Structure 1
Amino acid sequence: MRQSLQLRMGQQLTMTPQLQQAIRLLQLSTLDLQQEIQEALDSNPLLEVDESDSDPETHSSDQEKNGKDDSRDDTQTDNQEVEAISDYEMDSDSALTKETLSDELAMDVTWDEYMSAAPAASSGPMPEDETIYQGETTETLHEYLMWQLELTPFSPTDRGIAVAIVEAIDDNGTLTLSTEDILESLNDGNSGEPIELDEVEAVLKRIQLFDPIGIGARTLQECLCIQLNQFDPNTPWLNETKMILNEHIDLLASRDYRTLMKKTKLKENDLKEVMTLIHTLNPKPASSIIREESEYVIPDVSVKKVKGRWVVELNPDCMPKIRVNDHYAAMSRSVKSSTDSQFIRSHLQEAKWFIKSLESRNETLMKVTNCIVQQQQAFFEHGPEAMRPMVLNDVAEMVEMHESTISRVTTQKYMHTPRGIFELKYFFSSHVSTENGGECSSTAIRALIKKLIAAENTAKPLSDSKIADILAEQGIKVARRTIAKYRESLAIPPSNQRKSLI
């Protein structure tokens, strides 16, 4: 085998740590970004929060002007750094080396221009109507029931039975074991007098009267009947309601009101009164005790109409306003120790790159958001029914970035609008061809379906086929199975489950 020496020329992309940091910050949500900033402040002594009283610079831009302006400015330099990851994923021939990034770093000597545009977030006062003690008695349903059990006079035997029953109640408030199973578990290993089934049933009835009423029921029928038993005997339609729950609950569940009226010999108006009484009951009594924790969303940008035009602004409370400490930065030229000088210089470079990455993130977010607002003006004017079909590639071509970059920018980023808070991903949807050759957004079709169902006659709800026919009359041809898919995505039950007399 003969050895030879050959010279080849090629290009490849070098992923520097600074570029990786810019990409990571770009895809972080607001809460994650705040945590990242705090970690950077804790680890880098040259970074500090700017607590000056000067008004923060407002990053706002007119979206129409942004759509028409083709000029090239310094902001594209930052965007190219973030865009490089997209070229890396697509194996582009463009090369971004560490030397190029270092040259850009060396050209910047003014630290103040890298200060973030937003001050530190502040929490507002608690609303006056906030219920401070609501749900604070106990942490879980089990603890709440045990707290009531301790306040209830039980004999030692009955207390043991009550504890076994409470432990068999799940988070939905349903008794997961039969009384026979509870009796068997209590008698196993019991050296004293055996417990009878009647004793377990008697204790269960007392548990079911705990707050909330109906807790510990074995079936939905039993839960509703327990609640009805607490009504005043003179309550109108009480006996008829008990009769329907005890004898015809299957017809009630299937909403077969015609057969129900035939078997109970009740007229339609009478059955409406019964249904009104049933709707006052709570089929899930444990829901009043167990509450899901609220999830809070901090919008990254806000959109408002100023002088007839929609304007995009960064949320000034998204992140603290940080900068490089000038005193420590100047020490790099005055310290005598080479170790100290190298320490300051390395942290100074990291601080500058971190602030530069934050600015790049804000610039990219503003550019993409302005493009979205420009394309979806009809949504802001008329609502979801006017949403235009748009995919990530459409925005990528307009802002001259890669589709993967647009995906990062729009993930877990939220926009505050006069119509509510929406994730940026909400404004992207597939298209459906219309009869006249145009296109309609799938989001707009969902909004139309929701509007039609909200206005339907509950006694005769619209079927999926009927909704498809109504949309076809408006020039939107959608298959019945597509309507069913969109309806399910909106958590709307089928027509037979939406039928109601009241």
Structure 2
Amino acid sequence: MLTLSRHTEQRQQQVLSPRLQRAVWLLQLSSTDFAHEVQSALGRNPFLEGDEGDGAEAPPTAGLAPERVVNGMDDGASEYSAQSEASEPSSAAPAADEFAADQPDHGDTGPEGGMVDFADGWHGDGLTRLRRAEDGDIGALELMAAEPTLAAQLHSQLDLLSLPERDAALARAIIESLDDDGYLRTPLEEILELTDLSPPAILPEVMIALKRVQSLEPAGVAARNVAECLTLQLSSIDCPDQRELARRIVNEHMEVLARHDVARMARELQRSPAEVEAVCERIRRLDPRPGWRCGPAQVQYVVPDVIVRKLRGQWTVQLNSAVVPRVRMNRVYAELFQRHRRAEDQALADHLKEARWTLRNVEQRFATILQVTEAIVARQHRFLEHGPMAMRPMGLREIADELGLHESTVSRVTNNKYMMTPLGVFELKYFFSRALTTDSGKTCSGTALRSLIKDMIDAESPDAPLSDADIARQLAQQGVRLARRTVTKYRQLLRIDPIERRRGRVAA
């Protein structure tokens, strides 16, 4: 028989406050996203203001040691010492006013015979973007020529054709329906509904307008799928036989083409593998996204958070001043509020608390990034000297134990953070890899093994490429035992094609 009972129980558990949860979330953001969050806080908080570099109070991150020497020893020990501000610069790049002061006077002659300095109306903010000093001035970005968009180019070509108003309206409706890749994703039936013509347009008219738009440049525009896009570009192949073979491959064997299975296509098309591979190589030169040729290029640049360089025989770690937000407390507003504070001003009190928390968060974020980077450089200084083959195995716990941080904190710090070195720009996570034991009992990192695999493939014979099993056997002969599937994983991380594809390209 079931009975009901009640009892009390006490338990303790850790719960992150909303503010701490937000701090953890901000720590794992990239510097660009973090700068956007700080700019958003500047816009909604009256107690925060941007530091314009006018000689006012320095931002909170100025208290950090911007450049430190890392004395990397052979045993992995590290020693940190802050350099004096007089010996080395405290930022990665000079400030805008310092840069202008070092430049010669290249001003132009004004109406009264004096020199006009065009640099007086300009200054840079914390993200090194130029902006106008006063409203109404002509900005430098406004003087740059704007690249025409895909739709603008197609409309200009359409204007050169002597088309009836009805046909031109249908063609323009198709142009306005194209996406950024240059494809027509909108069904033709919906385009019919968008056009307001009398009498209403019919589907054959829209098909004629589509063919007319597809005849414009760039070739392949207004296609409805990849096969149609490539087919529209096949006219660039001069040989009629190759053009017909390419048309059959694109329209009938697209999936096989994507898998680079030349042998299967050769059997199904009853052609020699050399002919098929030559045509496939010609198809690969076609542009599957013709819309990308027009308009401004959308380039996502990686901005390093720290800069590592060698000075006087020692590796130094320096914060990149371009990614440090220039934000400070508005002391005048804060003092006025504290002097005249009332009970009903709780909203302003919350803004003041948020402003102080934001400043502490900015300082703590970049101090932690600097500490983690210093610990990484102290252990991986051989990599900076000799390259990926000298990378030593290192885990997140090793850095966390040294700095007294939680392992998850180190993981968040190294996420989307980049280090600029003489060898290039690397994500901080690149320097972490698990240890693999060799036959001699020593350990090596996965990064070093990937570099070794890449060197082996680069040195392989063109007539006999190495398979993953061959690479695993050669590594075993050198004392490193890896499973074939591990070699395959490392090869895929290096974005190297398998042996079948490499052999096919060599044969072509």
**TM-score category of the 2 structures, normalised to the smaller one:** 0.5 to 0.7
Q: Give the Å deviation of 1:375.
A: 1.4
SS of 1:294's equivalent in the other structure is coil
Of residues 57-66 and 434-443 in structure 1, the stretch that sits farther from structure 2 once superposed is 57-66
Residue 317 (structure 2) aligned to one of 303, 307, 312? 312
Q: Deviations over 1:378-406 (max 9, x none)?
A: 22122233322222111111222221221
Residue 120 (structure 1) aligned to one of 114, 120, 126? 126
| Conserved 8 A contact 2:192-2:201 | no
SS of 1:31's equivalent in the other structure is helix
Q: Give the Å deviation of 1:372.
A: 0.7
Of residues 47-56 and 413-422 in structure 1, the stretch that sits farther from structure 2 once superposed is 47-56
Q: Deviations over 1:44-77 (max 9, x none)?
A: 5486736328997752212227954599xxxxxx
Of residues 273-282 and 14-23 in structure 1, the stretch that sits farther from structure 2 once superposed is 14-23
Confirm whether residue 215 of structure 1 aligns to residue 221 of structure 2.
yes
Partner of 2:66: 59
Percent identity over the alignment is 37
Q: Is the alpha carbon distance of 1:54 and 1:468 closer, same or farther for their aligned partners in structure 2, counting shifts above 3 Å?
A: same
| Conserved 8 A contact 1:22-1:360 | no
Q: Give the Å deviation of 1:176.
A: 6.5
Residue 499 (structure 2) aligned to one of 484, 492, 495? 495
Equivalent-residue separation in structure 2 for 1:321 and 1:483 (angstroms): 47
Paired AA for residue 363 in structure 2: E
Whichever of the two has the greater Rg, that structure is 1
Equivalent-residue separation in structure 2 for 1:366 and 1:137 (angstroms): 43
Q: Is the alpha carbon distance of 1:185 and 1:462 closer, same or farther for their aligned partners in structure 2, counting shifts above 3 Å?
A: farther
Paired AA for residue 364 in structure 2: S
Equivalent-residue separation in structure 2 for 1:381 and 1:474 (angstroms): 23
Paired AA for residue 285 in structure 1: P
Q: Which has the higher contact order (CA 8 A, sep 6+)?
A: 1
SS of 2:469's equivalent in the other structure is helix
Equivalent-residue separation in structure 2 for 1:169 and 1:47 (angstroms): 43
Partner of 1:475: 479
Paired AA for residue 409 in structure 2: T
Q: Give the Å deviation of 1:207.
A: 3.3
Q: Deviations over 1:441-485 (max 9, x none)?
A: 233333344444455566654433233333333333222222333
Q: TM-score, normalised by structure 2?
A: 0.63
Q: Is the alpha carbon distance of 1:295 and 1:349 closer, same or farther for their aligned partners in structure 2, counting shifts above 3 Å?
A: same
Partner of 1:227: 233
Partner of 1:153: 162
| Conserved 8 A contact 1:456-1:462 | yes
Confirm whether residue 302 of structure 1 aligns to residue 307 of structure 2.
yes
Equivalent-residue separation in structure 1 for 2:224 and 2:376 (angstroms): 52
Paired AA for residue 148 in structure 2: T
Q: How does 1:22-101 map to 2 (within 5 A)?
A: 26-38=27-39, 43-45=45-47, 49=51, 51-52=54-55, 59-64=66-71, 67-69=77-79
Partner of 2:287: 282
Equivalent-residue separation in structure 2 for 1:183 and 1:70 (angstroms): 66
Paired AA for residue 214 in structure 2: Q
Equivalent-residue separation in structure 1 for 2:249 and 2:354 (angstroms): 73
Confirm whether residue 410 of structure 1 aligns to residue 414 of structure 2.
yes
Confirm whether residue 375 of structure 1 aligns to residue 384 of structure 2.
no
Paired AA for residue 437 in structure 1: G
Equivalent-residue separation in structure 2 for 1:328 and 1:265 (angstroms): 80
SS of 1:361's equivalent in the other structure is helix
Equivalent-residue separation in structure 2 for 1:200 and 1:348 (angstroms): 61
Q: Is the alpha carbon distance of 1:151 and 1:433 closer, same or farther for their aligned partners in structure 2, counting shifts above 3 Å?
A: farther
Partner of 2:121: none
| Conserved 8 A contact 1:165-1:182 | no
| Conserved 8 A contact 2:49-2:329 | yes
Equivalent-residue separation in structure 2 for 1:167 and 1:353 (angstroms): 47
Equivalent-residue separation in structure 1 for 2:495 and 2:451 (angstroms): 13
**Gapped runs of 5+ residues in structure 2?**
1-9, 82-124, 132-139
Paired AA for residue 491 in structure 2: R
Equivalent-residue separation in structure 2 for 1:283 and 1:348 (angstroms): 53
Q: Give the Å deviation of 1:170.
A: 6.2
| Conserved 8 A contact 1:255-1:496 | no
Equivalent-residue separation in structure 2 for 1:431 and 1:485 (angstroms): 16
Q: Give the Å deviation of 1:290.
A: 7.3
Residue 261 (structure 2) aligned to one of 254, 266, 269? 254
Confirm whether residue 426 of structure 1 aligns to residue 430 of structure 2.
yes
Partner of 1:359: 363
SS of 2:322's equivalent in the other structure is coil
| Conserved 8 A contact 2:70-2:80 | no
SS of 2:316's equivalent in the other structure is strand
Of residues 462-471 and 363-372 in structure 1, the stretch that sits farther from structure 2 once superposed is 462-471
Q: Deviations over 1:399-446 (max 9, x none)?
A: 222212212322232212122222222222233333333333233333
How many residues were matched structurally? 425
SS of 1:229's equivalent in the other structure is helix
Partner of 2:148: 137
Paired AA for residue 390 in structure 2: A
Equivalent-residue separation in structure 2 for 1:322 and 1:174 (angstroms): 44
Equivalent-residue separation in structure 2 for 1:44 and 1:204 (angstroms): 54
Equivalent-residue separation in structure 2 for 1:166 and 1:371 (angstroms): 55
Q: Give the Å deviation of 1:177.
A: 9.2
| Conserved 8 A contact 1:120-1:317 | yes
Q: Is the alpha carbon distance of 1:277 and 1:45 closer, same or farther for their aligned partners in structure 2, counting shifts above 3 Å?
A: closer
Q: Deviations over 1:177-219 (max 9, x none)?
A: 99xx879989xxx99799796x777655443321111334567
Q: Is the alpha carbon distance of 1:354 and 1:445 closer, same or farther for their aligned partners in structure 2, counting shifts above 3 Å?
A: same
Q: Is the alpha carbon distance of 1:369 and 1:146 closer, same or farther for their aligned partners in structure 2, counting shifts above 3 Å?
A: same
Equivalent-residue separation in structure 2 for 1:425 and 1:173 (angstroms): 36
Q: Is the alpha carbon distance of 1:362 and 1:217 closer, same or farther for their aligned partners in structure 2, counting shifts above 3 Å?
A: closer
Residue 390 (structure 2) aligned to one of 386, 410, 413? 386
Q: Deviations over 1:354-384 (max 9, x none)?
A: 5444433333222211111111122212223
Equivalent-residue separation in structure 2 for 1:209 and 1:221 (angstroms): 16
Equivalent-residue separation in structure 1 for 2:226 and 2:459 (angstroms): 30
Paired AA for residue 207 in structure 1: V
Q: Is the alpha carbon distance of 1:121 and 1:206 closer, same or farther for their aligned partners in structure 2, counting shifts above 3 Å?
A: closer
Q: Is the alpha carbon distance of 1:162 and 1:14 closer, same or farther for their aligned partners in structure 2, counting shifts above 3 Å?
A: closer
Partner of 1:244: 245
| Conserved 8 A contact 2:317-2:373 | yes
Paired AA for residue 385 in structure 2: E
Q: Is the alpha carbon distance of 1:160 and 1:475 closer, same or farther for their aligned partners in structure 2, counting shifts above 3 Å?
A: farther
Q: Is the alpha carbon distance of 1:63 and 1:203 closer, same or farther for their aligned partners in structure 2, counting shifts above 3 Å?
A: same
Q: TM-score, normalised by structure 1?
A: 0.64
| Conserved 8 A contact 2:192-2:206 | no
